[in-house]
Chain A
Amino acid sequence: MAEDVLKSGNLPENPERATLEGRNKFMGFWFFLGGETVLFASLFGTYLALRNSNAEGPASEDIFGLGLVFIMTVLLLTSSLTSVYAMYHMKNNDFKKMQLWLGITVVLGLAFLGMEIYEFYHYVHGYEFGYTTSAFSSAFYTLVGFHGGHVAFGLLWIVSLMIRNAKRGLNLYNTPKFYIASLYWHFIDVVWVFIFTVVYLLGKVG
């Protein structure tokens, strides 16, 4: 009985919500994202309150380079689309293609994360813009760093799901797990849309 959920093949429409456990996960995770909205709003609010408090350290116009940020944005937006593709294949019960698209998502996410680390390194060493330089620098690194931490966590999550299920394909037990991991990934993208707008673009406009 209980083991039925581990059988692969013959999935219903919306397999992620076919079991009670799946529906609970789906609902609970959406609510968690509602809470995360407030978490990031608090960080954004703090950043906005302090964004001009650079205390003789570098200001936002001095350091931000839009070229890099644009590439990062495209990478993350694309990874959002690739995870949509992964879910598309999950719903068609095509495990191999789902794994492929998740793999592409992970590669794009890693590239994003690598560029973000490069960016921070560049600020610290090129502009002497460290975490303790000013209230602005603390707020900047905390907000963007929290997002980066979410990206890193999401990558670890997706990779561990891919490895765990590599040999057994899709079933009613793991489809909800894949689904909410992809919701998390989209949410990371949602936050980034506001980061590139509010932090980088407004930082250049002044």
Chain B
Amino acid sequence: MSTTANQKAGIGSVLWDYLTTVDHKKIAILYLIGGMFFFLVGGLQAMLIRIQLVVPENEFLSAQFYNEVLTMHGTTMIFLAAMPLLFALMNAVLPLQIGARDVAFPFVNALGFWLFFFGGIFLNISWFTGGAPDAGWTAYAPLSVFSEGHGVDYYAIGLQISGFGTLMAGINFLVTVINMRAPGMTYMRMPLFTWTSFIASVLILFAFPALTVGLFLLTFDRLFGANFFNPDMGGNAIIWEHLFWIFGHPEVYILILPAFGVFSEVIPAFAKKRLFGYSSMVFATILIAFLGFMVWAHHMFTVGLGPIANSIFAVATMAIAVPTGIKIFNWLFTLWGGQIRMTSPMVFALGFIPTFTVGGMTGVMLASAAADFQYHDSYFVVAHFHYVIVGGVVLGIFAGLIYWWPKMFGTFLNEKLNHWFFWLFFIGFHLTFFLQHFLGLMGMPRRYWTFLEGQNLDLFNLISTIGAFFMAIGTLVFLFNVVKTQLKGEKVSGDPWDARTLEWSIPSPPPFYNFKQEPLVRGLDPLWIEKMQGNGKIQPAEPLGDIHMPNRSLTPFMISLGLFIAGFGIMYQGGMWVLAGIGFATTFGSMLYRSLKDDIGYHVHKEELEEEGDGSNG
């Protein structure tokens, strides 16, 4: 309870601290470590894919192994890298941005992380037990139902576990934003990153249940002889496609909206202007989320839904270009006339705008149903979604990480190395994926293990692989930078970027209670207002008093561990049913323990707080 106790801690106590933490800032670090680990795993898989495709008729990987690597690359990057890295950013800054001392459900927040973690580990254990999932990250039935071995079972159960975690994280952020805002922090004064994370959480809430059901049906078909997707018994494989994309398309916006939010923070901070068209940005975010629910069938144009359905979904899809365009222009107008500082987060933002615009334009091309019959399942699609996911989400994640790194760790990443990272990654990205548009138009189908000689595909594939190496080297530069910075451990002030929002008004890293006194928010960009009109410090909204904090707990870890163990029992059945028994007993026992044991938290007393600094960024 005492804040002075954390001086020199052994590895054991640090481990225990993180296993039982309910502090959103530490959970952010856990998400960051987990997400970065899986990002590197997924990146390694990407390199294997590109090495296999460097020359025609390559035998570097076997066809079966290629299928597994390809499936796991997509699954890992979406579910185990991009989502947790975004959750890392949200956990690190969202409560700070709205002036909250904590999230609404600290316990559930920890539970969300551990579920993600154990789901991801579960999925990757498949490599060592006879083969990873091999049916593509979309796991279309009936291929996924008849796929041999246990690979797809690992996919279904692993994603199920981590999906529960995502749903909980989403609900936690929703309630945090609604109930935990500081005095004066009205909805229309919330920073854009908070807004976009909020809307992304709404999408999580309504999209993930469809995936939950889809994965259950797949599991039941594979393991318990159900017939949902088996045509011989009256089943219908299209149901999987619908459920998967009812989840899958909103998922794309779950990923991109927080990235939009990051850029909407970075650009005003380094253009030294308030965000142009704040309210239209909010409106556009909501509109994207709304339309995002009505477009999933554009992934299914070639299924044969009929011209009417295809037209409706084509028009709805194209409509999304409008709010997205509003955002692009707002960013440009924010830049216009600003005092631009070319810091590395800003360079990422400037690289993002044209890259994402290209991805958006190929998106509109794909949205026209008639043309899509040509593009479908070709490398054109691969190029398109890497332009939006890497060019949008990944650039956004790294911009956010570099921008908020001082806030998370109190240290400052080396700017020179950050620029090296950007240029290597950015040039490598365009080398890798720009030519894939043309590979697709030239008829190269996606997901194929190899290609034949003499079809004019050799050169572009070679260049694409060279580009991938640039991206890999760039990532290594970033990792080197992280290690170097953290070893050096040079501390920075609370506001190293001279930024505008509330998170920069407190020390870096913030004390565990975040705000010593609840801040009083007087408008949009509250810190900037105080810098321009006040003394540069946020005014407190309350006198110094006791602060209520939640207790740490191992229960989230145990609940997740139980499901992890139970997964093996359900999958292998027979004698392994014992594991299901043990696992579910652990999970439900832990839940019961949580429910029955009073957990009312504790108070940090006023006297202890008085001994510390003034709680400002100074």
Chain B 150-193 interface 0/1 with A at a Cβ cutoff of 8 Å (1 = within):
00000000000000000100011011001100000000000000
The B206-221 residues at the A interface (CB cut-off 8 A) are: 206-210, 212-214, 216-217, 220-221
**Interface presence of B70 (CB below 8 A):** no
Q: What's the nearest-Cβ distance from chain B to residue A148, in Å?
A: 15
**Interface presence of A23 (CB below 8 A):** yes
Chain A 13-29 interface 0/1 with B at a Cβ cutoff of 8 Å (1 = within):
00000001001100110
In the complex, chain A residues whose CB is within 8 Å of the CB of B595: 157, 160-161, 164, 177
In the complex, chain A residues whose CB is within 8 Å of the CB of B209: 35-36, 38-39, 42
Of chain B, the residue at the smallest CB distance from A36 is B209
Q: Which of A86-94, A121-129, A134-142, A190-198 lies at the interface?
A: A134-142
**Interface presence of B243 (CB below 8 A):** yes
**Interface presence of A184 (CB below 8 A):** no
Contact between chains at A24 and B227 (CB < 8 Å) = no
In the complex, chain B residues whose CB is within 8 Å of the CB of A164: 595-596
Given contacts A35-B209, A39-B213, contact A50 B179 (CB under 8 A): no
Q: Which of A2-10, A72-80, A105-113 lies at the interface?
A: A2-10
Contact between chains at A35 and B243 (CB < 8 Å) = no
Partner of A132 from the list B226, B548, B602 (CB cut-off 8 Å) is B226
Bound Cα distance A43, B227 (Å): 14
In the complex, chain A residues whose CB is within 8 Å of the CB of B225: 131-132
In the complex, chain A residues whose CB is within 8 Å of the CB of B230: 135
In the complex, chain A residues whose CB is within 8 Å of the CB of B217: 46, 142
Bound Cα distance A42, B208 (Å): 11
Given contacts A24-B105, A49-B239, A138-B220, contact A55 B210 (CB under 8 A): no
Partner of A142 from the list B175, B220, B234, B601 (CB cut-off 8 Å) is B220
**Interface presence of A206 (CB below 8 A):** no
Q: Choose among A3, A53, A138 the residue with the greatest number of B CB atoms under 10 Å from its CB.
A: A138
Of chain A, the residue at the smallest CB distance from B549 is A2
Bound Cα distance A5, B600 (Å): 8
In the complex, chain A residues whose CB is within 8 Å of the CB of B214: 42
Given contacts A24-B104, A38-B206, A164-B596, contact A138 B171 (CB under 8 A): no
In the complex, chain A residues whose CB is within 8 Å of the CB of B175: 24, 27-28, 31
Bound Cα distance A142, B227 (Å): 11
Contact between chains at A131 and B600 (CB < 8 Å) = no
Contact between chains at A132 and B239 (CB < 8 Å) = no
Q: What's the nearest-Cβ distance from chain B to residue A140, in Å?
A: 11
Q: What's the nearest-Cβ distance from chain B to residue A26, in Å?
A: 9
Q: What's the nearest-Cβ distance from chain B to residue A143, in Å?
A: 10
Chain B 217-242 interface 0/1 with A at a Cβ cutoff of 8 Å (1 = within):
10011001111101011111001001
**Interface presence of B320 (CB below 8 A):** no
Chain B 590-618 interface 0/1 with A at a Cβ cutoff of 8 Å (1 = within):
00100110101111000000000000000
Partner of A42 from the list B221, B233, B243 (CB cut-off 8 Å) is B243
In the complex, chain B residues whose CB is within 8 Å of the CB of A50: 228, 234-236, 239
Contact between chains at B226 and A27 (CB < 8 Å) = no
Q: Choose among B171, B179, B214, B227 the residue with the greatest number of A CB atoms under 10 Å from its CB.
A: B227
Given contacts A2-B600, A46-B239, contact A160 B174 (CB under 8 A): no
Given contacts A35-B167, A39-B209, A42-B246, contact A135 B233 (CB under 8 A): yes
Given contacts A42-B213, A53-B235, A142-B216, contact A6 B598 (CB under 8 A): yes
The A174-203 residues at the B interface (CB cut-off 8 A) are: 177
Contact between chains at A135 and B234 (CB < 8 Å) = yes
The A42-69 residues at the B interface (CB cut-off 8 A) are: 42-43, 45-46, 49-50, 53-55
Contact between chains at A135 and B243 (CB < 8 Å) = no
Q: What's the nearest-Cβ distance from chain A to residue B397, in Å?
A: 25
Can you list 16 A-B contacts (CB < 8 A)?
A: A24-B104, A27-B174, A28-B174, A31-B174, A35-B205, A38-B206, A38-B207, A39-B213, A42-B212, A46-B228, A50-B235, A53-B233, A135-B227, A135-B233, A164-B595, A164-B596
The 7 closest A-B pairs by CB, nearest first: A53-B234, A135-B234, A39-B209, A42-B213, A138-B226, A55-B234, A132-B225
Q: A28-B171, A34-B206 are in contact. List 19 more A-B contacts (CB 8 A).
A: A1-B546, A2-B601, A27-B175, A31-B171, A43-B213, A46-B228, A49-B236, A55-B232, A55-B234, A132-B233, A135-B227, A135-B236, A136-B234, A138-B235, A139-B228, A142-B216, A142-B217, A142-B228, A177-B595
